[in-house]
Amino acid sequence: MTEISQDASPLLEVRALTCERGERLLFRDLEFSLDSGQVLQVKGGNGSGKTTLMRIVCGLNDSFEGELYWRGDALGERWDAFHANLLYIGHRLAVNHVLTPLENLRWSCRLHDPADDSGIREALAEMDLAGYEDSPCYSLSAGQQQRVSLARLLLSSAALWILDEPFTTLDVDGVALLENLVARHAREGGAVLITTHHKLVLPRLRTLTLGVAR
C-alpha cells in the first residue's frame, strides 16, 4: 500500500540544514528534496556526517538548524504521521540476539503495521533465511542478522526508506537482493535515502556528497 503523493510538493524536503558536532561543522545550508520514485545516495568520507544526517531526517537527532518538510508540511509537530511513513535501518540492526528472527520481526512490525506470522515467514524466506526462523539470532552470522533486519523492508508499507550502510556485511547474493528491493520500492512510488560506499546502479539515482565544502 505504497502511497504516492498527488500534489506537487516532494515527499521529503530539506532546507538550509546546518549541523555542528562539538566544534566541527558537519554541513552548512544543506538542501535537497526527495520525490516518490527517487533514490538518493548520500556519499562522503568517514566522519563527514552521513549517519548524523540520516538521524536528523529520522527525527532521532535534533541538534541542528534548518527545516524539514514531509509532503509539504513542516516536520516538528507531526512526527507521528511522518514516522508512520518511515522505515529506518541503521548501523545497529535492532535485532535482539536471544530472540529468533520470527520473534524479532513480530515485535518490530507491531511498532508500525500489523504483520502476521505467515507474512513474516515469507519475508524471511525471500531474504534466504528459510529454516532459520526459529533459531536464536546469536547463532546467525553477521550477514544473516543483517538480512533479518532487512526483511522489515518487505513487511513495511512505509513510503520512505532510510538505510544507513545496509550493504556492509551482505554477501554477493544479498547485495543483489537488496539492490532489487530498493529498485522495486522506487518503481512502486516509494523513496529511498541511502548511505553506502557501494556503487549503486539504479535508474533515477541521485547522489549527495557531504564534506566537499570543507
Partner 1 sequence: MNRTGNSAMNRANAGAAFRATLKRDLLISVKRRNDILNPFMFFIIVVSLFPIGISPESAMLRQIAAGVIWIAVLLASMLSMDSLYRSDYEDGSLEQLLLSSQPLYLLVFAKNIAHWLVSGLPVILVSPLLAYMLALPAEGYLTLVLSLLLGTPVVGMIGAIAVALTVGLGSRGLILAVITVPMSVPVLIFGTLAVQNSLAGGSPLGYLALLGAMLAAAASLAPVATAAALRISLN
* Contacts to partner 1 by CB under 8 A: 58-63, 80-81, 83-84, 86, 88, 90-99, 103, 106-108, 110-114, 136
Task: Specify the residue, 103 or 126, whose C-beta has the smaller distance to partner 1.
Answer: 103
Closer of 5 and 157 to partner 1 (Cβ)? 157
CB of residue 200 to partner 1, shortest distance in Å: 23
Dihedral over alpha carbons 170, 184, 54, 150 (to 10 degrees): -40
- Closest separation in Å from C-beta 158 to partner 1: 10
- Backbone phi, psi, residue 76, to 5°: 145, -45
Q: Which is nearer to partner 1, 82 or 183 (CB)?
A: 82
Q: Which is nearer to partner 1, 91 or 197 (CB)?
A: 91
66: enclosing H helix or E strand: strand 65-70
**How far is residue 89's CA from residue 161's CA, in Å, rounded to a whole number?**
8
Rounded CA separation 25/73 (Å)? 27
CA separation for the pair 93, 150 (Å, rounded): 9
Least distance from partner 1 to the Cβ atom of residue 204, Å: 26
